[in-house]
Amino acid sequence: MKQVVVIGGGHAGIEAAHIAARMGMDTTLLTMNLDQIGQMSCNPSIGGVGKGHMVRELDALGGAMGRLIDATGIHFRILNESRGVAVRGPRAQADKVKYRIAARRLLEHTEHLKLRQGMAANLLWQEGTRCLRGVELLDGTVLACQAVVVTSGTFLNGRILIGDRQLEAGRAGEPASTHLAEQLRSLGLRHKRLKTGTSPRLAKASIDFSRLVVQPGDDPPRPFSFFSAGIPQLQVPCHIVHTTPETGGIVRDNLQRSSLYGGHIEGIGPRYCPSIEDKFVKFPDKVRHQIFVEPESLETEEIYLAGLSTSMPPEVQIQMVRSLPGFEAAEILRPGYAIEYDSFDPLQLHRDLSVEGLEGVWFAGQINGTTGYEEAAGQGLMAGINAVRWLRGQEPIILGRDQAYVGVMIDDLVTKGTDEPYRMLTARAEHRLGLACDLADGRLMALAREVGALSVDELVRVEAKVARRERLKGLCEEAWVTQTSPFGPIAAGAGVRLESGMSLSDFFRRQQVGPSEADACLALLDDGDQSFPGREMATERDLLLFDLRYAPYRDREARLLEGQRGWDHVRIPSDLRVEQLHGISKEVMEKLVLHRPETLGQASRIPGITPAAVTLLHLLIHRSKSI
């Protein structure tokens, strides 16, 4: 009987194991500590701009993260709400204690899935690195499997640093994984050291919240998951504080005591989540830096300072914290720290996240050079899906850059690689207009059917919603706006001149028509079954206006995509010896050998490879096939 083993119980491991089991494959999730499944080692939050898009995409395909945060979130906000549908991003503060419990409970009640505590020591093959037969644990036990998804997070040769102190650990309180790291290195995989960090946790009672800026959540909170009925947890506010000149002075006076600036760290840290030391060094003209004061759980009194990641010694951390307004008497419960770990060059991965030369092995999460729970979850989901499909002899599912932010991320990793921890940003997607997170369920509906992880009822719900949207658009095309129609007074109030009249769709395309006018018009439509109930209608109105107003831009984008798709469908033969092709420049040849693109589309996205080079490569591939 075929089986999958997932190594690691973080956010990538949860998604990989959950989706594999929901697809009907016997799956085992192996983790060092069953009590730490779904642990949020850094800021206990999910989503944000770009990241929230990916969580919605996971949910549309049958993933777990959206449902878990809806069940355990204590502060929900839509970011960028005033900037348009395409770049809005849902974000939620999690109750980290309840999230961890909910994640384990979900996995324990997932059919075909077993949980196992232990440390992976070696991957075992029958011959060389072919025909995977299992995972050997540190105690000598072998878990039989034919496919393994490695989601090791920061545990591979992990090392925690606080000031000049160093400790081998995967995260605070848990050991590093050294045996598996050494095996992967010994197999010749290219690796690098990366770094991330976390902020100090404080005692809530030691903070004077009256001096902080309150940041309320949305009321009512809007769920992440397309399938959640609501948000059950009590909602609480977050707060904002700013650093002071005193904070900057403390940081600058103690820079050499920091692990980062004291020369103890060799790994590269995340550009878009810098430490407080980096902020004061790299932005010396910035007077103050914003810090988010966020609760970790309703079950504890710990407060997380997002934006104050540091590797300073504990005595310096307390000085920094107490220099913030309202924190003069603050007490640190857990100091912040930096952590270094092994990651492996994602250019060694295929587009389905399987590892070149290691049969039956997939990598997902921070092992591939990414940072963030959501990035890890996206890779875990796709690695789990494709491991199951490989075992069943099916073609892998590859998300296109125009289909999902998850597809953008994976294509970036396996085509361009990364020299620093990769974080998803909306700016990385060239087809943002078609990737609005609120439309992910309809956009990925066909793939969700193919994956087979959603229930029949869930698919029916998505299909019904897509049908209602199409019906609403049809009603807008048919409705006619004239001076004497019921829509006339609304048009006059919006300052839209009506001469020969226009369809309601054309009326909605006018920029003078705001949400209130659109709502008034939609209320006049003859829609017997009320297309969308209650608060859903506001979202659907925004999506309708977005769809109508940006259609010309999306059409233009679609035409450009059509040409690019041609290259994406041209596969580069795996046995093609690029170095033997005549006419290819040395620079292009070196890049092709290093990046190993599987298609011409991938080749075209490698930095430094011109369209002319891709056209020549296309011609040479055609010639090689005819020889």
Question: Quick count: other Cβ atoms within 10 Å of Cβ 542?
Answer: 18
C-alpha R_g of the chain:
26
How far CA 13 is from CA of 32, 107, 430, 439, in Å, comes to: 12, 11, 29, 26
Asked whether residue 627 carries a pLDDT value surpassing 60, the answer given is no
Point out the domain boundary residue: 553, 585, 607: 553
pLDDT band at 430 (very low <50, low <70, confident <90, very high): confident
Same domain, 520 and 483: yes
Cβ atoms 120, 30 nearer than 8 A: yes
What are the pLDDT digits (tens) for 76-105? 999 998 887 888 999 999 999 999 999 999
Domain assignment present for 246:
no
User: Which range among 243-247, 470-474, 568-572, 622-626 shows the weakest confidence by mean pLDDT?
Assistant: 622-626
Same domain, 511 and 538: yes
How far CA 566 is from CA of 141, 559, 571, 618, in Å, comes to: 49, 12, 10, 11
User: Which range among 267-281, 389-403, 496-510, 573-587 shows the weakest confidence by mean pLDDT?
Assistant: 573-587
Asked whether residue 307 carries a pLDDT value surpassing 80, the answer given is yes
Asked whether residue 492 carries a pLDDT value surpassing 80, the answer given is yes
Asked whether residue 608 carries a pLDDT value surpassing 80, the answer given is no
Contacts of 551 (CB under 8 A, 6+ apart): none
* Average confidence (pLDDT) over 529-548: 81
Same domain, 529 and 580: no
Domain assignment present for 83:
no
Crossing angle for the helix pair 51-61 and 373-391, to the nearest 10 degrees:
30
Crossing angle for the helix pair 11-22 and 65-72, to the nearest 10 degrees:
120
The CA distance from 366 to 12, in Å, is 9
The predicted structure's pLDDT at residue 571: 86
Residue 583: give its domain's CATH number.
Answer: 1.10.150.570
Residue 470: give its domain's CATH number.
Answer: 1.10.10.1800
What are the pLDDT digits (tens) for 113-133? 999 999 999 999 999 999 999
Query: Bridge partners of 57?
Result: none
Domain assignment present for 540:
yes
Same domain, 500 and 470: yes
The CA distance from 223 to 212, in Å, is 27
The predicted structure's pLDDT at residue 374: 98
Domain assignment present for 392:
no
Asked whether residue 619 carries a pLDDT value surpassing 90, the answer given is no
The predicted structure's pLDDT at residue 31: 98
Cβ atoms 152, 363 nearer than 8 A: no
The predicted structure's pLDDT at residue 588: 80
Cβ atoms 448, 454 nearer than 8 A: yes
The CA distance from 175 to 36, in Å, is 13
Domain assignment present for 151:
no
What are the pLDDT digits (tens) for 32-72? 999 999 999 999 999 999 999 999 999 999 999 999 999 99
Domain assignment present for 155:
no
The predicted structure's pLDDT at residue 626: 61
Q: Enter the pTM of the model.
A: 0.92
Asked whether residue 535 carries a pLDDT value surpassing 90, the answer given is no
The predicted structure's pLDDT at residue 534: 64
The CA distance from 176 to 158, in Å, is 5
Q: Which two tokens stand for residue 328?
A: 């003069």
Q: Domain residues for 473?
A: 456-553
Average pLDDT in the chain: 93
Point out the domain boundary residue: 519, 553, 587: 553
**Number of separate domains in the chain:** 2
% of the chain exceeding 70 in pLDDT: 97
Rounded to whole angstroms, the maximal C-alpha distance in the chain is 83
Query: Bridge partners of 150?
Result: 7, 363
Same domain, 577 and 536: no
pLDDT band at 575 (very low <50, low <70, confident <90, very high): confident
Domain assignment present for 476:
yes
Cβ atoms 437, 426 nearer than 8 A: no
Strand duo 26-31 + 3-7: pairing: parallel
pLDDT band at 603 (very low <50, low <70, confident <90, very high): confident
Asked whether residue 521 carries a pLDDT value surpassing 80, the answer given is yes
Cβ atoms 525, 565 nearer than 8 A: no
Backbone φ, ψ for residue 188 (5° rounding): 90, 10
What are the pLDDT digits (tens) for 228-260? 999 999 999 999 999 999 999 999 999 999 998
Q: How far apart are the first and last CA of the chain?
A: 43
Cβ atoms 311, 260 nearer than 8 A: yes
The predicted structure's pLDDT at residue 564: 67
The CA distance from 574 to 482, in Å, is 62
- Classify burial at 262, counting beta carbons within 10 Å of its beta carbon; exposed 0-12, middle 13-18, buried 19 or more: middle
Domain assignment present for 599:
yes
Please give the helix or strand (H or E) that residue 292 lies within, else none. Answer: strand 290-295
